[in-house]
């Protein structure tokens, strides 16, 4: 049985998916109005339809990635970006089959591949398809090619714009299908909206953050190379968030910088005067987090994410499995529970390599007194005098701590990929249904 708020998220999700499907086919329907497809050349017409649907899907990618909070709310940004990734492959398939079918119907069309002699519309089609291939390859193999995230992001946007422009030049130069003025205007509008969305993301959205600055109030160093940075809104009231959600952080005076990073909030959602993010030094950006000092200016865009107990208000209790810095969203949940004087049962199982890696150890010890919470630390490399659990999270460990009626609880998992997979499996081995398990992956691409 779905709770009231889960039902709302479900129906919102159904609404957005229906709208997506409608918009995927609407432009094709518009092309078809008043047009009599040739019966003898079914495959030719089908190939044209594939081209139009593929292009529409590419245009819709700009909406998907625009980070509209209402669209992201039912699914979560990670799910949306995964969808963006896979639907690109579907769009690429549709676009690739468009010429393949044309070549199959009439092999003379192969001449269009000779870009030096081919008409402009064919040159644009070939360019667009090659760029699409490049964007997919560098996105799928970014890590293998060692392309850093910021370079990839800039390249991705530039290629995306070029793909849309060259595809539009192809479509508008095959006058036959868009001969009516209103059809040209309709398609022109779709292309313009796609390009406008890029302007919205890069210029308008950051511009909306002007006047919504945050200033660093405090920086706390933890064990395990992690720092908690507390931000205070400057002359505005901040924003409300659910415990477990995250925001995009831009450090510095200008919100227009290319470099913005997602971090979970680790503070209580009951106090909107302070937003805390706890960041582990792992790469070039996070490696410099220790240099942030009180008084520094920042911009935070959010909240995003669906990884929150507030979406499951009817749960009998909450069980959190964290690994390493994956404790941050759980810390927000636990601090919020403490502020709300939550009296439902809570369990935190926190896995780390060594004792030195445990972030928030002392605060968690203190908070035990304020909540009905069981806190279990497990260490892969425990010290000699350790009397907690040892090893990784597995089915045997969970068996010791999971309550009766395990499926009446909601489970949250966050940590490194292998830890998350192992914890999910261990829960399922203990009879927990996958529908009761929420996961937050700290990697969007």
Ligand X SMILES: Cc1cc2nc3c(=O)[nH]c(=O)nc-3n(C[C@H](O)[C@H](O)[C@H](O)COP(=O)(O)OP(=O)(O)OC[C@H]3O[C@@H](n4cnc5c(N)ncnc54)[C@H](O)[C@@H]3O)c2cc1C
**Whole-angstrom Cα distance, residue 19 to residue 16?**
5
The alpha helices in 33-119, defined as continuous H runs, are 42-64, 69-72, 77-105
Count of CB atoms situated within 10 Å of the CB of 395 = 15
- CB-nearer residue toward ligand X: 376 or 445: 445
CA gyration radius for the chain? Answer: 26
- CB-nearer residue toward ligand X: 56 or 267: 267
When CB distances to ligand X are compared, the closest residue is 283
> Residue numbers of the site for ligand X (CB under 6 A)?
143, 148-149, 246, 260-264, 277-280, 282-287, 325, 328, 442-445
**Whole-angstrom Cα distance, residue 173 to residue 124?**
9
- CB-nearer residue toward ligand X: 139 or 173: 139
> Smallest distance from the beta carbon of 154 to ligand X, in angstroms?
11
- CB-nearer residue toward ligand X: 317 or 324: 324
- CB-nearer residue toward ligand X: 66 or 126: 66
**Whole-angstrom Cα distance, residue 400 to residue 426?**
12
> Smallest distance from the beta carbon of 302 to ligand X, in angstroms?
10
Strand order across the beta sheet in which 261-264 lies: 261-264, 246-251, 297-304, 214-221, 226-233, 275-280
> Smallest distance from the beta carbon of 258 to ligand X, in angstroms?
9
**Whole-angstrom Cα distance, residue 10 to residue 364?**
34
> Smallest distance from the beta carbon of 374 to ligand X, in angstroms?
23
> Smallest distance from the beta carbon of 137 to ligand X, in angstroms?
17
> Smallest distance from the beta carbon of 405 to ligand X, in angstroms?
30
Length of the chain (residues):
445
Helix (H) or strand (E) holding 167: helix 149-173
- CB-nearer residue toward ligand X: 397 or 414: 414
């Amino acid at each position: 049985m779905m709770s009231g708020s889960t039902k709302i998220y479900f129906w919102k999700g159904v609404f957005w998916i229906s709208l997506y499907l409608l918009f995927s086919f609407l432009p094709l329907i518009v092309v078809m109005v008043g047009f009599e497809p040739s019966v003898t050349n079914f495959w030719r017409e089908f190939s044209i339809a594939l081209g139009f649907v593929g292009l529409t899907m590419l245009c819709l990618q700009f909406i998907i990635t625009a980070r509209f909070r209402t669209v992201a709310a039912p699914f979560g940004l990670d799910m949306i970006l995964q969808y963006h990734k896979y639907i690109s492959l579907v769009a690429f398939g549709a676009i690739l089959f468009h010429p393949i079918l044309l070549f199959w119907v009439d092999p003379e069309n192969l001449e269009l591949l000779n870009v030096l002699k081919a008409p402009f519309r064919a040159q644009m089609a070939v360019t667009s398809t090659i760029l699409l291939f490049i964007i997919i390859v560098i996105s799928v193999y970014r890590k293998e090619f060692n392309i850093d995230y910021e370079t990839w992001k800039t390249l991705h946007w530039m290629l995306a714009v070029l793909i849309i422009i060259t595809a539009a030049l192809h479509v508008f130069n095959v006058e036959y299908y868009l001969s009516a003025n209103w059809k040209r205007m309709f398609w022109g509008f779709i292309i313009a909206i796609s390009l406008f969305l890029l302007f919205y993301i890069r210029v308008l959205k950051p511009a909306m953050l002007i006047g919504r600055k945050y200033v660093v109030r405090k920086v706390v160093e933890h064990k395990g190379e992690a720092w908690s940075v507390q931000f205070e809104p400057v002359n505005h009231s901040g924003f409300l968030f659910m415990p477990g959600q995250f925001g995009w952080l831009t450090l510095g005076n200008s919100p227009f910088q290319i470099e913005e990073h997602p971090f979970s909030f680790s503070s209580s959602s009951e106090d909107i005067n302070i937003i805390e993010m706890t960041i582990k030094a792992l790469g070039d950006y996070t490696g410099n987090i220790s240099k942030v000092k009180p008084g520094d200016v920042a911009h935070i865009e959010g909240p995003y994410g669906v990884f929150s107990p507030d979406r499951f208000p009817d749960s009998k209790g909450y069980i959190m499995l964290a690994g390493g810095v994956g404790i941050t969203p759980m810390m927000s949940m636990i601090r919020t529970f403490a502020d709300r004087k939550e009296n439902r049962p809570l369990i935190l199982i926190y896995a780390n390599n060594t004792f030195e890696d445990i972030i928030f150890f002392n605060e968690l010890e203190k908070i035990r007194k304020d909540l009905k919470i069981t806190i279990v630390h497990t260490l892969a490399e425990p010290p000699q005098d350790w009397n907690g659990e040892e090893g990784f999270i597995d089915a045997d460990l969970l068996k010791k701590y999971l309550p009766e009626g395990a499926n009446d609880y909601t489970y949250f998992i966050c940590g490194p990929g292998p830890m998350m997979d192992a914890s999910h499996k261990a829960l399922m081995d203990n009879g927990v249904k996958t529908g009761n398990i929420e996961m937050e992956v700290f990697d969007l691409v």
